Amino acid sequence: MPRPPRIPDRDWEDWRWQLRNRITSVGDLERYVDLSEGVRAGIQAASSQYRWAITPYYAALMDRDDPDCPLRRQQVPSAQELADDLGAEDPLLERDHSPVDAIVHVYPDRVAFKITNVCPTYCRYCFREYFVGNTGQHHTRAKVQAGIDYIARTPAIRDVLVTGGDPLLFSDERLDDLLGRLRAIEHVQIIRTGSRTPCTLPQRITPELCEVLSRHHPIWLNTHFNHPDEITPEAASACDRLLRAGVPLGNQTVLLKGVNDDPQVMLELVHRLLAIRVRPYYIFQCQLVAGTAHLRTSIESGLAIVQALRGHTTGFGVPTYVLDTPYGKVPLAPQYLLGRSGDEVVVRTWDGRIWREPNPLDSSPPAGMALADLDALRQPTDSGCRA
């Protein structure tokens, strides 16, 4: 990986050095990439409105000469952000679903627990722009404790997603303490966490951190790679350390114009993820937050990409494409079930063939359901069948 000269390995490989030396100015960035006068001015203009920071590790992955480098598009501010003024500040209305400051409670059985607003790098498309990077500090102990207290007094919560910001930027000691307190709550069955550090700061995945995580199982971790070039030997080693600590890994990708809105790029991404034993989990439709319109694609483009994956990769390599809304995630899938025709259903296969499958009309519904529930799923009926 090309990196500026005179940085000793022991610094480069130290996650705290990486954080202390994050790039936050045009001058620093120019140690890694060449910038035209217009791009330089765009960064300066956008950074007066939106926060930015990039780890030296991630900057060293960028193409020095290509202004359209997909890694640059994700992290380097641009003048386009100032032209994209459409979009809500908090598109998922998280603040309306926050019984206490650090908690977002949308689904009955699980919560998102935001413990910090700090991230190693600030992605240009972040849907938590209203919150992430605001103070540049972790939540106070009192605020975190208020979140734990809410979880403890809400027995319906069996699954806690520890999130942020990036929760793995907590010190090992604070993380150990937090996970221990959550684990002590009897009704909390699983703890999940979301972290982009394996992609933007793989040095953070130290043996000591893995030891902390392994003390509090079951812990699941979803990470966040958007482009195949992000899957480096360093990232692969970080994921391997987590897996060896017994932490199952999934990946959440955001669909981004000029980054991964191309079936071949997405196919390569999922193949590289599978090769490092990270399961492709979600592709998120990019939220409309101020400054993000130039990075968004249509939902139809997303459906076309997911359709292009099916049949061309391992079944569990096809992530679920979702639109997040204030009321939960909505799965978006190409239509394969074309309809019912008498006692058959008509389906379309991945390569476009039509298949008719004998399909009984159930006289009784599954336990706890009404026949009307099945009727609702029988749409379109004969008349609506397009086959």
Residues of this chain that interact with ligand SF4 (CB under 6 A) are: 119, 122-123, 126, 128, 132, 165-166, 196, 224
Structure tokens belonging to residue 22: 């994050």
Cα(170)–Cα(176) distance, integer angstroms:
9
R_g of the chain, CA atoms, integer Å: 23
Could you tell me how far CA 327 lies from the centroid of its own chain?
18
Min. distance of Cβ 309 from ligand SF4 in angstroms?
22
Return the C-alpha torsion angle 222, 104, 111, 204, nearest 10. 30
Min. distance of Cβ 165 from ligand SF4 in angstroms?
6
SS3 content of the chain, % helix, strand, coil (to 5): 35, 20, 45
Min. distance of Cβ 5 from ligand SF4 in angstroms?
29
Contact 272, 198 (CB under 8 A): no
Nearer to ligand SF4, 77 or 165 (CB): 165
Nearer to ligand SF4, 89 or 375 (CB): 89
Contact 260, 266 (CB under 8 A): yes
Nearer to ligand SF4, 120 or 280 (CB): 120
Contact 196, 119 (CB under 8 A): yes
Q: Is 298 helix (H, G, I), strand (E, B) or coil?
A: coil
Min. distance of Cβ 132 from ligand SF4 in angstroms?
5
Cα(256)–Cα(196) distance, integer angstroms:
16
Nearer to ligand SF4, 56 or 339 (CB): 56
Min. distance of Cβ 119 from ligand SF4 in angstroms?
3
Nearer to ligand SF4, 166 or 176 (CB): 166
- Contact residues for 54 (Cβ-Cβ < 8 A; gap 6+): 22, 23, 24, 29, 75, 76, 121
Min. distance of Cβ 254 from ligand SF4 in angstroms?
7
Min. distance of Cβ 193 from ligand SF4 in angstroms?
12
Q: 322: closest CA among 305, 299, 288?
A: 299
Nearer to ligand SF4, 149 or 324 (CB): 324
Q: Do the bridges between strand 328-332 and strand 337-341 make them parallel or antiparallel, or are there none, so unpaired?
A: unpaired
Q: 249: closest CA among 286, 224, 214?
A: 224
With 0-12 / 13-18 / 19 or more C-beta atoms within 10 angstroms meaning exposed / middle / buried, residue 129 is buried
Cα(17)–Cα(83) distance, integer angstroms:
35
Nearer to ligand SF4, 105 or 128 (CB): 128
Q: Do the bridges between strand 279-285 and strand 103-104 make them parallel or antiparallel, or are there none, so unpaired?
A: unpaired
Nearer to ligand SF4, 128 or 181 (CB): 128
Structure tokens belonging to residue 148: 């734990």
Min. distance of Cβ 252 from ligand SF4 in angstroms?
9
Min. distance of Cβ 97 from ligand SF4 in angstroms?
17
Nearer to ligand SF4, 132 or 266 (CB): 132
Nearer to ligand SF4, 165 or 228 (CB): 165
Min. distance of Cβ 224 from ligand SF4 in angstroms?
6
